[in-house]
Chain A
């Protein structure tokens, strides 16, 4: 696609429910990142995928968070048993995969946990 696509753009859920957020990176980009941005805050790193290597999960805040990337392309971030503090914008970004490469961000998913 022309850019990084994220869906849904908005998600409202009840506390305790599970949610899945989807990211479709730019075709050919081997690196994929998930970040979380709370209101007025910077970007908090969650997880990084590079090709077929094991992902860097060091930023996941709890075991309720998990992510997978199928076929080196589409990624899904799953949050189980959502809590109110999970409310934030979840941003996905992709790049060609080296440290010098520009990250292209999707438009994000605004998650609201009631």
Chain B
């Protein structure tokens, strides 16, 4: 099993709709979870971090963590064309190594 899995293909959402992204991870002991956004040809930038079970909201973004089921999700509300990017899930492992998923491409259609 891969350390961090993001299995969904490209996600197309109409402007103003909710984009939902999911991520699962293999290490039950992981404590720190992140979502990075990467525009085409650019470097990743952090948009959300979450450490406790439940929801964490920041503007139009909500991260959800369920440690028992080992998944993390990201919701983007009121999606805008500027949200079109690849979203990378990242999980810190015990030796301080940050492992990334392959990413999910989001396309917001005006």
Give A contacts to B, CB under 8 Å. Answer: 31, 33, 35, 41-43, 45, 48, 50, 56, 58-59, 91, 98-100, 102-103, 105-108
Contact = CB atoms under 8 A, between A and B. Distances in A.
- Leading 5 A-B pairs by shortest Cβ distance: A42-B102, A105-B43, A43-B100, A99-B92, A102-B46
Contact of B95 (A41, A56, A100, A102): A56
Tell me if B's interface is mostly helix, strand, loop or mixed: loop
A91 B32 CA distance: 21
With most chain B CB atoms within 10 A of its CB, the pick from A50, A59, A105 is A105
B43 A42 contact: no
Nearest to A58: B97
5 contacts: A42-B6, A42-B103, A45-B100, A91-B43, A102-B49
A45 B97 contact: yes
Nearest to B44: A105
A42 B45 contact: no
A45 B98 contact: yes
Given A45-B98, A100-B92, 13 more contacts: A31-B96, A33-B98, A35-B100, A42-B4, A42-B6, A43-B88, A48-B95, A48-B97, A58-B97, A91-B44, A99-B31, A100-B49, A106-B43
B26 to A, nearest CB: 14
Contacts of B42: 107
